[in-house]
Amino acid sequence: MTDELISRERFSALVEEAGLKLTAEQFDELRQGYRFVQRMQRIVRRPRDRAAEPAHIFVHPRAEVR
Amino acid sequence: MDPTQLTIAESIRAIAAGSLSPVALTEAYLDRIAALDGELHSYVLVLRDQALKSAQTPARGVLHGIPIGLKDIYKTRGIRTTAGSRRYLDHIPDEDAETWVRLRNAGAILLGKNETHEFAIGGPDFTLPFAPARNPWNTAHYPAGSSSGSAVAVAAGLCAGAMGSDTGGSIRGPAAYCGIVGLKPTYGRVSRRGVFPLSYTLDHCGPLTRTVEDCAIMMQALAGYDPQDPASADVPVPDYRAALATRLDGLTVGVIRQFHERDAVADFGADSAPSVAYTAAFDAACRTLESLGARLVDIKLSPLVDYLDANRLIMLAEAYALHEKDFRERPQDFGHHMFARLALGAFLTAADYVEAMRQRRELAVEFARAIEGCDAVVSANSTGPAPRIDAIPTYSTFERASYTGPYNLTGSPALSVPIGFEDGLPLAFQMVGKPFDEAGVMRVGHAFEQATDFHRQRPAVAASLPGRG
């Protein structure tokens, strides 16, 4: 399940902003691949409680370790 | 007797008994590499003289005289380490990976460096300086990646065991397609120091072996705190071999069916449907666990895509940060697949990354709660046989269902074990455990293995060389 293909104009702006120098073939291929980025963004961008912190660290207290 | 037919456990016993010398064992593996690797491409560098010299050193530890391979992202001091990339084609590190130091101190002998997808993400790529490794069960097929060479070498009998790395399944995928055992330990259990990173918070180092017992032996040398790896955990290491058992009486094993039976098609489309043979093999494997005394319980989780896309987004963001400068300034140095995949990371925002990490915590907590009453859980691995190596799409990493990434996201120990065959190619499932309970997943894996004979079936290419049988 993937999202709509981004327009050439919009994708061109993203590439320029990223500072990438792409061949025509790379541009077309990455534009196709961008649909997967859109899906990932859609999956992770959801309403959350403000207290829901990121998993920037794993804590395994010794008592819980067998 | 051909000593390369022995497992690591059997070789250790033969060496201890004096019926096999490390030199003879090393020579036998080197002869096989010379005879067979021209077609398999599992090594990018073979260290014949150095290996034979190492084989003459006195006994040092549990792996005395055992010849192994290292994925070519493991740094080896004074020995070329390319990460499978033109960018590092002449790179000679001045340090060893901590894992290699531990294996060497335990007596292991380095046969050479194994082929890898470029920086553990870009492959199979025919534009790279090294040919992609081939599946030893059928060389027209893909061995999976990114630890391709390591898995192929183990399956084909070109080393006794090997090291891989796993960010979304790069140990367990190749183990599945090659019909061997692969363990992704708990995040923090095995040092990553001196291994080229792909994604800091998702990378794991671990062994690939022919049997679970061999995996336990390698883990005994590998596991343990490394104060110089920022993610290393100071957690006691148990006796892994002592924990292996042949019965599972009294154990509760969770079964995650929804990922492959429902979510794969619902979230990723019909191309991700498990094969009929895979579903049958998975069900039969579960019945085997039950026959060994385990009580099976169904595990319900959030949809597979929630786990996978959080994993993939985090990987893309972290990997792109690592390679951004080179992607901007010297894109010509990278292979097609590596660039096409990782350049997508350029289009993510800081907020995307933070949201993915917030989702990661939610899912890690969900998973921990779901398996609270279980001693281990089983989950699908690749749900069909290996495809042809010339039929892997550029964005295969993102477009299809995968069953390994969720456990990189949660940091859980996960072991791939063979469960059958389809069209002459291996199938596998995973045993997943609680944090730092590698012993638990290996216990279940070993019991399953002893009750079946899938691990004893080997590809034709693994047979003894003429005159060596």
- The predicted-structure confidence for A30-65, as pLDDT tens digits, reads as follows 999 999 999 999 999 999 999 999 986 555 545 555
B170 assigned to active site: yes
H or E stretch at B427: strand B425-432
pLDDT of residue B176: 98
Residues from chain A that touch B348, judged by Cβ atoms under 8 A, are: 37, 40-41
pLDDT of residue A55: 85
Contact B354 A54 (CB under 8 A): yes
Nearest CA-CA distance, residue A44 and chain B, Å: 5
Decide if pLDDT at A2 tops 60.
Answer: no
Q: How far is CA B109 from the centre of its chain?
A: 20
H or E stretch at B16: helix B8-17
Confirm if B152 and B37 have CB atoms less than 8 A apart.
no
H or E stretch at B32: helix B22-40
Q: What whole-number distance in Å separates Cα of residue B198 and Cα of residue B118? A: 10
User: What ipTM goes with this model?
Assistant: 0.94
Q: What three-state secondary structure class fits B238? A: coil
Is A2 contained in some domain?
no
Is A55 contained in some domain?
yes
Identity of the residue in B356, B359, B398 whose CB atom sits nearest the CB atom of A36: B398
Number of separate domains in chain A: 1
Q: What whole-number distance in Å separates Cα of residue B441 and Cα of residue B244? A: 9
Residues from chain B that touch A19, judged by Cβ atoms under 8 A, are: 328, 346
Phi, psi for A22 (deg, rounded to 5)? -110, 145
Q: Beta strand pairing status for B109-114 and B43-46?
A: antiparallel
Distances (CA, A) of B304 to B202, B257, B351, B409, B441: 17, 11, 22, 12, 21
CA proximity to B220, closest of B329, B408, B45, B66: B66
Amino acid making up residue B256: I
B71 assigned to active site: yes
Q: How many CB atoms lie within 10 A of CB B98?
A: 23
Interface probe, candidates A2, A40, A57, chain B, greatest B C-beta count within 10 A: A40
Nearest CA in chain B to A29: B340
Q: Going residue by residue through chain B, which has 469 residues, state the pLDDT in tens, using 9 for 90 and above.
A: 899 999 999 999 999 999 999 999 999 999 999 999 999 999 999 999 999 999 999 988 999 999 999 999 999 999 999 999 999 999 999 999 999 999 999 999 999 999 999 999 999 999 999 999 999 999 999 999 999 999 999 999 999 999 999 999 999 999 999 999 999 999 999 999 999 999 999 999 999 999 999 999 999 999 999 999 999 999 999 999 999 999 999 999 999 999 999 999 999 999 999 999 999 999 999 999 999 999 999 999 999 999 999 999 999 999 999 999 999 999 999 999 999 999 999 999 999 999 999 999 999 999 999 999 999 999 999 999 999 999 999 999 899 999 999 999 999 999 999 999 999 999 999 999 999 999 999 999 999 999 999 999 999 999 999 988 7
Q: How far is CA B90 from the centre of its chain?
A: 26
Confirm if B398 and B389 have CB atoms less than 8 A apart.
no
Q: How many CB atoms lie within 10 A of CB B456?
A: 10
Range of the domain at A30: 8-64
Q: What whole-number distance in Å separates Cα of residue B301 and Cα of residue B157? A: 39
Chain A residues touching chain B at CB-CB below 8 Å:
1-2, 14-15, 18-21, 26, 29-30, 32-34, 36-37, 39-41, 43-46, 48, 52-56, 58, 60, 62, 64-66
Q: How many CB pairs under 8 A join A and B?
A: 119
pLDDT of residue B468: 85
Distances (CA, A) of B393 to B123, B194, B208, B263, B412: 10, 31, 26, 21, 29
Q: Is B341 on the interface with A (CB under 8 A)?
A: yes
Of residues B71, B75, B113, B434, which has the active-site annotation? Answer: B71
Q: What whole-number distance in Å separates Cα of residue B239 and Cα of residue B450? A: 19
Confirm if B186 and B435 have CB atoms less than 8 A apart.
yes
Interface probe, candidates B318, B329, B358, chain A, greatest A C-beta count within 10 A: B358
Residues from chain A that touch B341, judged by Cβ atoms under 8 A, are: 33
pLDDT of residue B60: 86
Phi, psi for B379 (deg, rounded to 5)? -145, 150
Two tokens at B427?
């199938």
- Its sign, for the CA torsion B16, B18, B24, B25, is negative
CATH of B6-306+345-462, one of 3.90.228.20, 3.40.50.300, 3.10.20.740, 3.90.1300.10: 3.90.1300.10
Two tokens at B73?
């992202």
The ranges assigned to domains in chain B are 6-306+345-462
B184 assigned to active site: no
Is A31 contained in some domain?
yes
Nearest CA in chain B to A27: B340
